Amino acid sequence: MNDKQNFLDAVTKQIRSKEAIKLVAEELEHHLRETKRTSLKRGFPNKKLNKKQ
């Protein structure tokens, strides 16, 4: 499992509502994708960004 999935699992394990788990996981994934996109635009090396996922 990668760092991103470990993070998402750790967060969603804290949520009791089954409906909220999916919504929160989707929102966090969206945020992580947007952060990566922004970092790439600012010149952060893609190789380093992929290691974090």
Structure confidence at residue 50 (pLDDT): 63
d(CA 10, CA 45): 27
Whole-number pLDDT of residue 11: 95
- Would you state the pLDDT for residue 9? 94
Q: What are the extents of the domains in the chain?
A: 3-8+16-51
Helix axes 3-12, 18-41, angle to 10 degrees: 150
* pLDDT at site 45: 83
Cα 36 to Cα 5, 15, 20, 24, 46, distances in angstroms: 15, 25, 24, 18, 9
Mean pLDDT in order along the chain per 10 residues (53 residues): 89 95 95 91 77 53
pLDDT at 2: 86
